[in-house]
Amino acid sequence: MQSVEYKIEKTIKSKPKGHLLFPDDFSHRGSAESVRKALQSLKEKGLIKTVAYGIYVRPVIDKYIGEVLPSAEEVVKAIAKRDKIRLVPTGVYALHALGLSTQIPLKLVFLTDGAPRVIKVGKRTIKLKKATPKSLKAKGKISALAIQALREIGKDKATDEEINKIVKLLKEENPSDLKYDIVLAPEWIKKIIKQAINE
pLDDT, tens digit (0-9, with 9 covering 90-100), for 148-185: 999 999 999 999 999 999 999 999 999 999 999 999 99
Q: What's the rounded Cα separation, in Å, for the pair 94 and 43?
A: 34
Residues belonging to the chain: 199
Q: Which residues, at least 6 apart from 10, have a Cβ–Cβ distance to it below 8 Å?
A: none
pLDDT attached to residue 199: 61
C-alpha 123/C-alpha 111 separation (Å) is: 21
What is the pLDDT confidence band of residue 131, given thresholds at 50, 70 and 90?
very high
Distance in angstroms (rounded) separating the CA atoms of residues 136 and 110: 10
- Tell me the pTM: 0.86
Where are the chain's structural domains?
Answer: 4-68, 72-198
pLDDT mean over 143-151: 96
Q: How far apart are CA 148 and CA 170, in angstroms?
A: 13
Of 19, 20, 23, which is closest to residue 4 (Cα–Cα)? Answer: 23
Instruction: Give per-residue pLDDT as tens, 51-103.
Output: 999 999 999 999 999 999 999 999 999 999 999 999 999 999 999 999 999 98
Query: 4-68 maps to which CATH number?
Result: 1.10.10
Query: How far is residue 61 CA from its own chain's centroid?
Result: 23
